[in-house]
Amino acid sequence: MAKEYTVTLKESIRVNPSTHFLSFYCPEIALNALPGQFVAISSNQFLKRPFGIAQVDKDKGTFSIGVRIVKDGTRYLATSPIGTEFEVMGPLGNGFSIEKDRPLLLVGGGTGVFPLRFLQSYAQEHSIPFYSVNGFRCVDDACFIDGERNSNCIVATDAGDFGVKGNVLDALEMIPFDMIRGSTVCTVGPEIMMKHVASWAESKGLTCYVSLEKRMACGIGVCLVCTCKTKSDKEPGYENKRCCKDGPVFLSAEVIW
Amino acid sequence: MVDLSVTIGNVRFKNPIILASGTCGFGRELEQYIDFCSVGALSSKGLTLRPRQGNDGCRVAETPSGMLNSVGLQNPGVRYFVENDLQFMASLPTGVIVNVAGHSTEDYVEAVRFLEPHREFIDAIELNLSCPNVKEGCMVIGASPEALFQLVSLVRKETTLPLWVKLTPNVTDISLTALAAQRAGADAVVAINTLLGMAIDVKTRRPILNNNTGGLSGPCIKPVALRMVEACASVLDIPVIGCGGISTGEDVLAFMIAGASAVQIGTSTLIHPSACETITEEVVALAEDLNISSISEIVGTLNLWR
Ligand SMILES: Cc1cc2nc3c(=O)[nH]c(=O)nc-3n(C[C@H](O)[C@H](O)[C@H](O)COP(=O)(O)OP(=O)(O)OC[C@H]3O[C@@H](n4cnc5c(N)ncnc54)[C@H](O)[C@@H]3O)c2cc1C
Ligand SMILES: Cc1cc2nc3c(=O)[nH]c(=O)nc-3n(C[C@H](O)[C@H](O)[C@H](O)COP(=O)(O)O)c2cc1C
Ligand code: FES
């Protein structure tokens, strides 16, 4: 059950010049959150800002988000001192539906790697095999690349200054298909990237989940400002679903891009 | 203890706080955040005769102390509502207001006719003649005293339920549309709906909203709303329900002093889902401080400067 909490910033780590990893104390969210869910957090702006949950520590009672500075709200969050209080709602949204007997192929772009981080920890905890592909514009833009130089993780940069040169699709083509046969693809990142990953997955016969980002207001499904188009048999041939409540995770086959 | 009850027409509400249409769905999502005992009523999302998917693309833009929305009346239609949501709303320990919108007079008449057999579950019908986000009907009708008079007169014949008319602020003189609603047989007016506005992305040189324009709501519209409530209350005999930018108990009292018999709260719920509960507590505390024993005694007590 999601609620509104006042939480305290416990830790703020600079991941790269424009991205901070923030941890907050809130045992309720730490206990209840599922991979793919998000929180809506106050800043110095009028509306709360949505961020995918990147990590939970049930023992410490903390949850973490990765924040890339875009404009005023994210700058405020990223530069807030430890101890600052925020209003948070969460966990919100549906999260990924995970079948425990299927391997996962995680495809992240930019800040999309943060919510996938949570999914990856979940996979590790539940002994679900996974393969992960993360794409960034350049090394200065990259997050979590240090501990990931192992065999089932590929990092790609457009600039080619770290990992494979190219985008996540180039990287996906490098994986021997036998390694990912039967996997469920989960992708989070820029919409155009997810669209291409989805059509790649569909062409390989893999089930694909995408996590959509829309501008939000309430975050709980009452205002209908965050909708995305999905396929429907009913008039007029599509249905506008709420990204915050019916999503943010959707089956790619359902989405009208 | 302060008596918070108010009477609008012949309907009694346990307190003057009403959740505004379009910001509380049909109540389901808010159940885990708010105790519905703490609010007087809930107004449904705007319902049209047939289902609507609303506008495409980006529907929200943040503004200083407020927001623009261009949802465009996405709703499941009045039939689906009656079959799936009305009973639920009626089961909540609060009043039920059904908000109705449409493109044409016939749409409104038919939707209200459809609701009439279910009148036992409904405390009032609120005619939304003020949505700025659909191309025909609604605000176009609601901005013209003549068109509004005709529509409300026709709808009036279809129902014995209390009929509230929600007015648009996008007019030169709101007292004219308010008077037209009263002449046509409305039991109350609700003032105001959102103000038409625009937000622009300077990089792309395009409006942020794909509908180009949207409805402005939130604390930034409160002074405009207060002025319009006062303007309506000063010419009407029927009750005025105040709405626009309310976020504190003090705001509620200000609207009531300006002439509102009750208030509606919208955008505040989007910021804090339990806002109305908090605001009700603030009203009680403030009324006690000000030695008000019954909240309705302050309605319209504004003492204008001469
Ligand atoms: C479900 C969800 C999960 C998200 N997870 C993360 C995350 O894990 N890490 C992260 O860094 N960011 C995430 N975001 C995006 C983040 O919410 C926005 O970057 C943030 O709200 C921008 O706030 P701001 O005040 O800095 O900028 P604003 O002033 O709000 O906007 C700056 C620009 O960013 C764009 N923008 C704003 N909000 C959104 C949005 N919701 N979707 C797309 N574009 C937007 C607009 O084009 C605007 O011009 C997520 C968004 C959603 C909807
Ligand atoms: C997202 C959103 C959707 C709305 N939908 C409706 C609607 O369907 N019918 C209606 O009469 N008013 C609708 N409104 C207007 C509100 O009910 C209210 O009149 C307005 O927002 C001003 O009050 P506020 O500043 O407290 O939000 C909507 C407002 C918002 C923000
Ligand atoms: S943000 Fe309000 S319904 Fe999704």
**CATH code of the domain containing B276:** 3.20.20.70
CATH topology of domain A212-257: Dihydroorotate dehydrogenase B (pyrk subunit); domain 3 (2.10.240)
**Mean pLDDT rounded to a whole number for chain B:** 96
Rounded average pLDDT over B291-302: 97
Residue B201 lies in a domain: no
Kindly list the protein residues whose Cβ atom lies closer than 6 A to any atom of ligand 3.
A 216-219, 221-226, 242, 244-245
CATH topology of domain A3-92: Elongation Factor Tu (Ef-tu); domain 3 (2.40.30)
Contact B45, B36 (CB under 8 A): no
pLDDT tier at B96, thresholds 50, 70, 90: very high
A96-210 in CATH: which number? Answer: 3.40.50.80
Residue B212 lies in a domain: no
Q: What is the pLDDT of residues B108-157, one digit of tens each?
A: 999 999 999 999 999 999 999 988 777 777 778 899 999 999 999 999 99
**CB atoms near residue A241 (< 10 Å):** 20
Closest CA to A34 of A98, A83, A78, A100: A98
> How many angstroms separate the CA of residue B279 from the nearest CA in chain A?
16
Rounded average pLDDT over B84-99: 97
Residue B65 lies in a domain: no
Within 8 A of A222 by CB-CB distance, chain B residues are: 23-25, 29-30, 269-270, 273
Euclidean distance between CA atoms B272 and A219, whole angstroms: 10
Q: What is the pLDDT of residue B187?
A: 98
Total domains in chain B come to: 1
Q: What is the pLDDT of residues B186-206, one digit of tens each?
A: 999 999 999 999 999 999 999
Query: What percentage of chain B carries pLDDT values higher than 90?
Result: 95
Catalytic residues of B: 131
Q: What is the pLDDT of residue A235?
A: 84
Euclidean distance between CA atoms A228 and A218, whole angstroms: 15
Residue B211 lies in a domain: no
Q: Where are the domains of chain A?
A: 3-92, 96-210, 212-257
- pTM, full prediction: 0.95
Euclidean distance between CA atoms A43 and A50, whole angstroms: 11
Q: In a structure prediction context, what are the per-residue pLDDT tens digits for chain A, which is 257 residues long?
A: 458 999 999 999 999 999 999 999 999 999 999 999 999 999 999 999 999 999 999 999 999 999 999 999 999 999 999 999 999 999 999 999 988 889 999 999 999 999 999 999 999 999 999 999 999 999 888 887 655 556 788 899 999 988 899 999 999 999 889 888 999 999 999 999 999 999 999 999 999 999 999 999 999 999 999 999 999 998 889 999 999 999 999 999 999 99
Three-class SS state of B117? helix
> How many angstroms separate the CA of residue B74 from the nearest CA in chain A?
8
ipTM for the whole complex: 0.94
What's the B244 CA to ligand 2 centre distance in angstroms?
A: 9
Range of the domain at B49: 6-54+71-194+217-298
Compute φ and ψ for A254, nearest 5 degrees: -85, -25
Rounded average pLDDT over B262-289: 97
What's the A237 CA to ligand 2 centre distance in angstroms?
A: 27
Starting at the edge strand found earlier in the chain, the sheet holding A19-25 runs: A49-52, A38-41, A85-92, A3-16, A19-25, A62-68, A55-57
Q: What is the pLDDT of residue B130?
A: 84
